[in-house]
Each structure stands twice: as C-alpha cells, then as structure tokens.
Amino acid sequence: MDKETFKKYGYEFIDWVADYLMEVEKYPVKSQVKPGEIKGKIPPEPPFREESMEEIFGDFKEIILSGITHWQHPCWYGYFPANNSYPSILGELLSAGLGVQCMSWETSPAATELEEAVLQWLRQMLGLPPGMVGVIQDTASTATLCALLTAREVARDFKINVEGFQGLKSPLTVYASEEAHSSIEKGVKIAGYGKENLRYISADEKFALIPSLLEKAITKDKGRGFQPACAVASLGTTSSAGIDPLESMAEICRRHGMWLHVDAAYGGSAAILEEKRDMLRGIEGVDSFVFNPHKWLLTNFDCSAYFVKDPKLLIRTMEMSPEYLKTASDAQVNNYRDWGIQLGRRFRALKLWFVLRSYGVEGLQEMIREHFRLAGLFLEWVEGEDIFELMAPVNFSLVCFRLNDGKSSPEELEGMNRELLEEINATGRVFLTHTSLKGKYTLRMSIGQRTTGEKHLRQAWGLIKEKARKVLEGR
Ligand SMILES: *Cc1c(COP(=O)(O)O)cnc(C)c1O
C-alpha cells in the first residue's frame, strides 16, 4: 500500500467509524450469526496475490460486521460496559501509527513517563493513597495474577521464584468472597497455589464478604499448618456489584501479615465521584488495587490500571535482566517490563491521556453520575411492578432483578426468567445477560454505555414488561 492509498482509506475509515458510532442503533445489539457462519465465508487458504483495500474493506462490511456484537450500542446492558470514545479511538490510532514497543524507558521514554503521569492522575481521581504507584496492564485478570504472584513471593521471602513450589510443607492459602470474579481462581491456579488452597468465604445478603468468617478460616488454616498469604477484596462484584468490607479485611490482613489485593475492575471507576468513596475506607491497608478504565471510563479495551503500595516487591517478583535488555539508564528510570508478565508493551497511556484531557475529570464524573441516575430510575420501575423482584442492592449502575409472579416454584421461576431473557434478547433491540444469586437465576441490567440515555432505558423497560407479560400468559 502506498502513502496516497493509506491516506484515502484513512480518511474513509474515520468517516466510517464516525457514522458507525452515530448509527450503531440500526444493528441488532447482539450478533445473530450461527457458529461457523463467519468462518465459512473466509477462504481456507491465505491469498497468494495482493488484494485491494477496496475488496478487503468490502468484505469487512459484508462478512465481519454481521458477526459483530455491538458493545457501543446505547442499548448494551450485558455483562459490564466496555465503552470507548472519540478521543480514545484517536489515541489508539496514533499509537498504532507510532508502532512503538514500550518495554523499557529507552525504547520510548515518553511512553514510560506518560504512563507514570496519567496513572498518578488516576490515583488522585479515585482518591487512592498518595504512596501508591501504577502501571497499565492489559486486563484485571493479569493484574490480579501479578498480585497473587507478588503475594506468593512476599510470603516466602522470594524463594518460590527460585525453588519452586515443590514439596512446600505449609501450603500457602488465598481467600476471596464466594462472589469473587473467576479471574481470582484462574490466577490462583496459574500462580501455583492450587485451587484447593483458595478459600471461598460466604457473602451476606448484600453479597459482601463476611469478615468474621474470613477471620475464622484464616485461624483454622493456621492451626492446620497452612500459611495464609493473600486475600482479595472485591469492590463491585461481577454478579451483583456487591462491595466487600475493605476496612475489616485490611485489619484482618494486617494482623495476619497477609497481602490484600482489591479487585475493583468495574466499580473502581465510580470512586471518581467523591460521594461514592465510602467503599474505599481502609484503602491505606491495601497492597494492590486494580480497576479497568476499559470498562466504564471511555478508554478502548485494553487498559487496566494496577496500583501497588510498594513497587519494589512487584519488580523483585517480575524482574529479568538479560544482557540484551540492559540499558545505560536502568538505574534512574522505570522499566515497565519489570512491572508485569509480558516483556513487550503497547503504548496504552496515550489513549488514556487523550480521554482524561478531552473529558476532564468533570466530564467523566458527569457520565458516571448519569449512569447512577439511570440505574436509580430503573430500580424504581422494578420496585413499582408486582411481577418483578429486586435481587440485590443497587450499589453502582447494575440492577439485578427477576420476574416473579409470587406463585411459582423455584424451578418454574428459573424457567420463566430464562425464557424472558431469551425473548428480550431475540428482539435484537437490547442485550442483557444473567447470573445466579444465592442459587436464583437473575437478570442483570448493566448500565454504562457512553450514549445510553433515559429514552433508551424507557424503551428497554417497555420491552422487558411486554415480554414478561407474554411469558406469564404462556404459563
Ligand atoms: C470484568 C471483571 C474482571 C475481569 O476483567 P478483565 O479486565 O477482562 O480481566 C475481574 N473482576 C471483576 C470484578 C470484573 O467485573
């Protein structure tokens, strides 16, 4: 491709993306294709001769778009949001254009120093303690794995990195709420603790970990010769956005000499609102904290912010210094390659910088406040209808509810709600997902798309009620 063609399509693609984001409502929110349908349209052999961008772009529109689930649709209520924004897209474009690999300070000083600076901005925005420093990871899963690895090394004086886990007499244990995200268990497995040494602690009726049970489990393990190494507090669980009691957990971890990691992947963004910072009480006692600007803070996937109290411990866990990576400035600078798992790193701070500057703290606060308002509205609607039941407190902008006619068995209720979700999503007009809360099948209305407005929410509610009546009539 020559420069002129690059420019031609570059301008055209920006136009296309701008129109796409304006018109995204014309697509069904969730892709309607069947498994194998897209692959069936891709030639099994690679092209031997060059193809024109016109053909490639044509196929993008013809083939790929039908297999896209539109996360940027204003009627996206599934999982959690992964919202993007114009400034973030532009930042990604420049990052792709620069094509730099930011493993060390010397491989692009600006990438390292901008990352340091914007993470300090984020730290202030959330009200995290002044001593904490940050690094961008691809995902919260990776950040949590880093925390578990560091906790492991700290618990054993950095010997497991050398000797491995073989033949350890007192196995290390990890603690998290039964509502914790699956990435905790995955990290526990990868970090070598073993799933059997992860203790799930029961949550109360608000889906928050019960601290007295945490204390009990730790004491019991100690008595049986285990070594408690780490606890994970969730601020905004995935199923119901429950909030673990950070202050009590911090006190327990301090007393037992354990690492405390916070998973605030979704909920953390809400801390940019001062009125939502109650959940951070006890944060001084936390060793590491992760939240995802790629969820609720208008920054394209992927961008996960990982903060640690003492970076020396993280670096000591991760550091590798082969001769070919050594640089003259190593003693004076941050080499972010030593702050995580992979060596190569994208220039992700750029899009975050663009977002934070374009919106300002105020602009981001306004968006999140509006999502809170919409969730409050939806909550009122659910509570105002006899046939619906609220399933969890609304701590953020996630509303958990289900259809309940008051006269069906638990099995029938599950069947009705499965049917309701299928009916709703089959329209293609909205997309919701489900979970299970205390064994009850629950619908999740997760509000957090940049463009979701009250108009969209009212339409969704109308549709949900209509389908609920249909389900009830069919019984
Ligand atoms: C989304 C989510 C995760 C996983 O996030 P990734 O960045 O995709 O790894 C972890 N924890 C919680 C609470 C989440 O909501």
DSSP string, 161-196: HHH-STT-SS-EEEEEETTS-HHHHHHHHHTTS-GG
Shortest-distance Cα residue to atom 1 of ligand 1 = 265
Q: Where in the chain are the domains?
A: 100-346, 355-473
Span 51-80, pLDDT tens digits = 999 999 999 999 999 999 999 999 999 999
Is 139 a pocket residue for ligand 1 (Cβ < 6 Å)? yes
pLDDT of residue 451: 97
pLDDT of residue 72: 98
DSSP state of 384: T
- What amino acid is encoded at 308 in this protein? V
pLDDT of residue 45: 97
pLDDT at 166 exceeding the cut of 90: no
Q: How far is CA 438 from CA 180, 203, 345, 404, in A?
A: 13, 9, 40, 16
Determine which of 13-27, 264-278, 329-343 has the lowest per-residue pLDDT on average.
329-343
pLDDT at 462 exceeding the cut of 80: yes
pLDDT at 167 exceeding the cut of 80: no
At 325, the pLDDT band (50, 70, 90 cuts) reads: confident
pLDDT at 385 exceeding the cut of 90: yes
Is 238 a pocket residue for ligand 1 (Cβ < 6 Å)? yes
Mean pLDDT of 297-317: 98
At 169, the pLDDT band (50, 70, 90 cuts) reads: confident
What is the spatial order of strands in the sheet that 440-446 belongs to?
76-77, 431-437, 440-446, 398-403, 388-390
Chain centroid to Cα 215, Å, comes to 28
Q: How far is CA 25 from CA 29, 117, 405, 451, 452, in A?
A: 8, 37, 32, 10, 11
Is 183 a pocket residue for ligand 1 (Cβ < 6 Å)? yes
Is 304 a pocket residue for ligand 1 (Cβ < 6 Å)? yes
pLDDT of residue 328: 87
Is 299 a pocket residue for ligand 1 (Cβ < 6 Å)? no
* Cα 179-250-391 angle, rounded to 5 deg: 25
pLDDT at 329 exceeding the cut of 90: no
Chain centroid to Cα 265, Å, comes to 4
What's the 220 CA to ligand 1 centre distance in angstroms?
30
Mean pLDDT of 296-325: 96
Q: Which helix (H) or strand (E) holds 308?
A: strand 304-308
Q: Point out the ligand 1 atom lying closest to the alpha carbon of residue 180.
A: 13
Residues 276, 250: contact at Cβ < 8 Å?
Answer: no
Residues 308, 316: contact at Cβ < 8 Å?
Answer: no
pLDDT at 330 exceeding the cut of 80: yes
At 457, the pLDDT band (50, 70, 90 cuts) reads: very high
Mean pLDDT of 229-243: 98
Q: What does the mean pLDDT of the chain come to? A: 97
Is 240 a pocket residue for ligand 1 (Cβ < 6 Å)? no
CATH of 355-473, one of 3.40.630.40, 3.90.1150.170, 1.10.287.110, 1.10.10.520: 3.90.1150.170
User: Does a cis peptide bond (omega within 30 degrees of 0) precede residue 302?
Assistant: yes
pLDDT of residue 206: 97
- Dihedral through CA 38, CA 41, CA 45, CA 51, nearest 10? -110
Is 250 a pocket residue for ligand 1 (Cβ < 6 Å)? no
What's the 431 CA to ligand 1 centre distance in angstroms?
19
Q: At what angle do helices 86-98 and 349-383 cross, to 10 degrees?
A: 150
What's the 241 CA to ligand 1 centre distance in angstroms?
12
Is the Cα torsion angle 109, 112, 115, 118 positive or negative in sign?
A: negative
Determine which of 8-12, 80-84, 109-113, 161-165 has the lowest per-residue pLDDT on average.
161-165
At 165, the pLDDT band (50, 70, 90 cuts) reads: confident
Q: Point out the ligand 1 atom lying closest to the alpha carbon of residue 304.
A: 7
What's the 265 CA to ligand 1 centre distance in angstroms?
5
Is 431 a pocket residue for ligand 1 (Cβ < 6 Å)? no
CATH class of 100-346: alpha beta
Is 335 a pocket residue for ligand 1 (Cβ < 6 Å)? no
What's the 360 CA to ligand 1 centre distance in angstroms?
25
What's the 427 CA to ligand 1 centre distance in angstroms?
28
What's the 367 CA to ligand 1 centre distance in angstroms?
21
Burial of 433 (0-12, 13-18, 19+ CB in 10 A): middle
Mean pLDDT of 295-319: 97
What's the 397 CA to ligand 1 centre distance in angstroms?
16
What's the 382 CA to ligand 1 centre distance in angstroms?
27
What's the 136 CA to ligand 1 centre distance in angstroms?
14
Span 84-94, pLDDT tens digits = 999 999 999 99
Is 261 a pocket residue for ligand 1 (Cβ < 6 Å)? no
Query: What is the Cα–Cα distance from 61 to 59, expressed in whole angstroms?
Result: 5
Query: What is the Cα–Cα distance from 425 to 28, expressed in whole angstroms?
Result: 9
User: What token pair was written down for 349?
Assistant: 């701070």
